[in-house]
Amino acid sequence: MKQKLLRRSLVVLGLSMGLLAAMPASAGWGSWWSKSIEGSGRVVTEDKQVQNFRAVLIAVPGKIQVRQGEREGVQIETDDNIQTAMETVVEGETLKIRMKQKDTYPKTRHLNVTIYVKQIDELALESSGSVQSDKIVSNDLKLRIGGSGDVIMSELKADTLKVTIGGSGSFSARGVAPQISAAIGGSGKLDMRYLSAKDVRISIGGSGKVDTWVSDNLSVSIGGSGNVNYYGDPRVSKSIGGSGSVTRQGSAP
């Protein structure tokens, strides 16, 4: 009975997160558009004056760099006609980088965005973009990937980390995050082998894959064909309602 309930709940999780990933822009900041804007080929760079934000939402494809320091702002390098079709706004405490018309898509080889932050508590990627960051320090960091985008953090220090992937996106990080909560509703991948953690909770409702390094407690729920590989010698609790697996790989990566 417990297995049936687990399977049902995680299937619902997978379906709901899959719908989130496929949600059109008109319903939020979705990752697909019905009309493309062809880049002119005339690449220009513009600095956007924005401030007083603690969260970042990215709804355009491209190469995105996040840099934490003493300044705030955004620099965008792309075709001049795409520059005018994009907007960079702060609503509440959230910086949003998106197309002005929600049903449009920038078609270009040149879309580079650099985001300068003082503090970041939440990062949402609702496109097929690629986000990279160097050193990021945050008390409580929430990360959401709703499409096929990738997020790479080469040096992360956070007290708690919450990661949600609703599509085929991926996340990898190095550093320290004592408390980690991760949920995958599609075929996403989490590479946290070099992200030291004490307590990790993982929920997979699809075919996702997670690699993690945890010392104290590991809790895993799998309702599909997902796989969890872990390093360390934690206390492990697991509930598997499908063909998934939980496998120890060694004491350290």
The pLDDT assigned to 20 comes to: 43
Distance CA 158, CA 160 (A): 5
CA nearest to 44, candidates 86, 104, 2: 86
The pLDDT assigned to 102 comes to: 85
The pLDDT assigned to 15 comes to: 40
* CA contacts within 13 A on the Cβ side of 87: 10
* Residues in the chain where the model's pLDDT stays below 70: 1-34
CA nearest to 231, candidates 246, 249, 216: 249
Which helix or strand (DSSP H or E) is residue 203 part of?
Answer: strand 189-204
Residue 28 burial (C-beta neighbours within 10 Å; 0-12, 13-18, 19+): middle
Structural domains of the chain, ranges and CATH numbers in brackets: 2-33+42-250 (2.160.20.120)
The CA distances from residue 222 to 5, 88, 115, 156, 164, in Å, are 12, 38, 35, 27, 15
Q: How would DSSP label each residue in 115-130? A: EEES--SEEEE-SS-E
The dihedral built from the CA positions of residue 148, 149, 152 and 156, taken in this order, carries a sign that is: negative
The pLDDT assigned to 93 comes to: 97
Distance CA 230, CA 210 (A): 8
The pLDDT assigned to 34 comes to: 62
Query: Mapping DSSP to helix (H, G, I), strand (E, B) and coil, where does residue 49 land?
Result: coil
Structural Rg of the chain based on CA atoms? 19
